[in-house]
Structure 1
Amino acid sequence: MPGTTIQAISIYQLLVPLREPFVISLGPLAAVQNVVVVIRTQDGHVGFGECSPFLTINGESVDTCFVVGQYFAPVLKGRDALDLAGALAVMDRIIYGNSSIKSAFDIALHDVAAQHAGLPIYAFLGGNNRKTLHTDMTVSLDAPAKMQADAVRFQQEGFPAIKVKLGGTLEDDVARIRAIRAGIGPAHPLRIDANQGWQTADRAIAVLQALAAFNIEHCEEPILRQHFMELSRVRAASPIPIMADESCGDEHDAARLIQLQACQLLNIKLGKSSGFHRARIIARLGEAAGLTLQVGGFLESRLGMTAAAHLALTSDAIRHCDFDTPLLFTDDPVVGGIRYRAGGVVELPAGPGLGATIDDAVLRRAQQVHF
């Protein structure tokens, strides 16, 4: 369709400090280093996408994304923006992996396609807004007293569930959870995320069994993702349900984990799956297998998290949302997008497409390239 031909593509770096370092077992993060993709079509539609590359998870950085995006832009320019699967196939032919920057292009293209259809992205993908989305709030890895204070504050702020970063020694992690439970009480929903920090199955099983008494909903990625063949043994021995995160990047990973009966839950992230196209396949696989699903993210702004929120409305099996990182930013560069309400409620914007853009003043100051 001539009107939906991609006329111009712009790529920007989005750099924002965090209020305080965000620490996980893979290391500390002090600032947001993201990439924003803007796609314009001949008929005047403008689509926005964002990725938050993560060196230790998807092997990408703001620099690699900025460069690889310049491989994609001249090839995608002139193509039909509505050929979503075709665009992803083109990017896959250009370079293997690089799921983070591919997701920024995929989100921007879905924004255009949904605007063209006159629908919000979730409706364009077959979803609905009948359910209310709630985000958890994450306690960064630190000393027990600091983690307890943060958890108490998040509980007082009304977040319905608290997620705790772990991944240290058995003694240290038990001390952290014991302190948090002493602060928030025995009943407030509590989830944990080791980010592969326990490394081996035996060590993970020992820690999970030691945490059995603390009423924990689930545990994300307890062992090194390379050891995914061992995850089913962890699941069988763990009193806490297991969620795959780093080991579940695309639909092929999800299919393997399901076949292995490796986990009860999957965590879907657009930055791991290369965007909506593959994320939806993962969701369908998980739903068919009877798994509970979560949609999360990295350090996306409210723009990237708005895309994640649209995804969360496309499947009834998606019951958990981890959309809290924009609350850590020192500045909010997003116009429109999701809003955080009382009780951890996440409210999507009305109207067609993504419903979020980046402030023009922020884009003008950013390192940028145009095609």
Structure 2
Amino acid sequence: MLNSTIQSIEIFKLFLPLKEPFVISLGPINEVQNVVIRIRTADGCTGYGECSPYLTINGESIDTCFAVAQYLARGLHGHDALDIAGCVALMNRIIYGNSSIKSAFDMALHDVAAQHAGVPLYAYLGGHADKVLTTDMTVSLGPPGKMQADAIRFQQQGFPAIKVKLGETLEADVARIRAIREGIGPDHPLRIDANQGWHTADAAIAMLQALAPYRIDHCEEPISRHLYMDMGRVSAASPIPIMADESCGDEHDAARLIQLRACPQFNVKLGKASGLHKAQKIVELGAAAGMTLQVGGFMESRLGMTAAAHLALTNDAIHHCDFDTPLMYAEDPVVGGIQYLSQGVIDVPSTPGLGAVIDEQYLRHAEKRVFD
């Protein structure tokens, strides 16, 4: 019998430049600041995981993740890597919250487990490569003219849908969408994300009604995540379907929103859910409730987005993918992983496991901790 005991865990800081700052209503992102986890088992198997912490969303930074990862590594060392549920439970006993760094460990464990099973990660998760995944492309928050130019460029590059960051005043955000529609025409699929920027239910309802003429597919997180009790009122009054993002972190949040009939759509992210183990629970709940689901991410590289793509192949309720942030990188640190084809099509690796690793040259000189 193969020995799947965790023999060593390595923790790396990964800093990478972006082509240009990525701006949302919660603030600008000027560079990638991620943490990479590498788990080796006694039989020589190696699994990779990655997280992209967000101070304003999951309350984590590269430094908090690096510190907490050391607690988690000490706890997990010597455990069976194939006992993912047990490892997840152990991480939760070690420390509350910290969903971002836990997702990196969870991802690496799933990589190991799928390799042991000799199947691609999507198959290990119960999925099938029987549907075509496509990603949208996101227009960063900025002046209307710049946003219009970016949207036109993404349309010309063949992306099947354009996502637009909003979250400021009614006048400013309507002007942005008006300019974009004038640039890309009335028919190209358009989605919006306020990142909680409209704050209150009344402000959000006014904004969503004002944006109705511009044919918006859906709107992510229009109000403060703390006002989830008001989300149902926003959904009922909105001509645009509402998708919960920041307010839907794990399966407990998902169950609450379903019970409240708060919204018809969820955006599932590994960094919010603490990884694939819990993200699958959200997907199952949403699918059972007849919801439309999206799988997205933060600023993960193609490694983290590859894990998200494997998840997207597990359930027909997952209609949308938001896997564009690696295209914003000035450098690509990943070997293998998803490939971006024409028309926004995502090609998911079919090799056993995750099918992606971080190029050793990016880890060789990185700040790291090793537990073996």
How does the TM-score come out when normalised to structure 1? 0.99
Residue identity matched to 1:327: L
Q: Deviations over 1:17-39 (max 9, x none)?
A: 11100000000000000000000
| 2-structure distance, mates of 1:345, 1:265 | 22
Tell me the CA shift for residue 308 of structure 1: 0.3
Q: Does residue 55 of structure 1 match 2:55?
A: yes
Residue aligned with 1:365, SS: coil
For 2:170 and 2:249, how far apart are their aligned partners in 1?
Answer: 28
**Where does the alignment leave 5 or more consecutive residues of structure 1 unmatched?**
none
Q: C-alpha distance in 2, partners of 1:365/1:194?
A: 38
Query: How far off is 1:350 after superposition?
Result: 2.1
Provide the secondary structure at the position in 2 that maps to 1:31: strand
Runs of 4+ aligned residues of structure 1 deviating over 3 Å after TM superposition are none
Counterpart of 1:6 in structure 2 is 6
Number of the residue aligned with 1:25: 25
Shift of 1:349: 1.4
Matches within 5 A, 1:309-328: 309-328=309-328
Match of 1:79 in 2: 79
Q: In structure 2, give the amino acid aligned to 1:232.
A: G
Contact 2:72/2:91 (<8 A) preserved: yes
Contact 2:19/2:329 (8 A) holds in 1 = yes
Question: Does 2:237 match 1:208?
Answer: no
1:361 Cα offset (Å): 1.0
Query: CA–CA distance in 1 between the matches of 2:331 and 2:19?
Result: 9
Q: Which AA in structure 1 matches 2:51?
A: C
Cα shift at 1:2: 6.0
Is 1:217 aligned to residue 209 of structure 2?
no
Query: For residues 77-99 of structure 1, what are the alpha-carbon distances to aligned partners after superposition, in whole Å with 9 as ceiling and x for unaligned?
Result: 11000000000100000100000
Q: Secondary structure at the residue paired with 1:211?
A: helix
Which residue of 2 is the match for residue 184 of structure 1?
Answer: 184
Distance 2:136 2:165 in 1: 13
Work out the CA distance in 1 between the residues paired with 2:189 and 2:13. Answer: 36
Q: Quick one: which amino acid aligns to residue 163 of structure 1?
A: K
User: Aligned partners of 2:2 and 2:327: how far apart in 1?
Assistant: 41
Letter in 2 for 1:21: P
Alignment of 1:82-97 (within 5 A): 82-97=82-97
Distance in 1 of aligned mates of 2:349 and 2:251: 29
CA distance in 2, matches of 1:195, 1:299: 15
| Distance across 2 between alignment mates of 1:141 and 1:3 | 50
Aligned counterparts of 1:249 and 1:309: Cα–Cα separation in 2: 18
Aligned pairs for 1:115-264 within 5 A: 115-264=115-264
| 1:362 is aligned to 2:366 | no
Cα separation, 1, equivalents of 2:253 and 2:2? 37
3-state secondary structure, aligned to 1:87: helix
User: Aligned to 2:364, what secondary structure does the other structure show?
Assistant: helix
SS in 2 for 1:3: coil
Q: 1:349 — aligned with what?
A: 349
- Tell me how far apart the structure 2 counterparts of residues 262 and 349 of structure 1 sit (CA, whole Å): 36
Tell me, in whole angstroms, the C-alpha distance in 2 between the residues paired with 1:338 and 1:122: 12
* Aligned-partner residue type, residue 335 of structure 2: V
Tell me if structure 1 keeps the 8 A contact 2:75–2:94: no
Q: Distance in 1 between matches of 2:198 and 2:214?
A: 18
Residue 96 of structure 1 aligns with an amino acid whose one-letter code is Y
Match of 1:106 in 2: 106
Residue by residue over 1:266-325, the C-alpha shift from the partner in whole angstroms, topping out at 9 and shown as x without a partner, is 000000000011000000000000000000000000000000000000110001000000
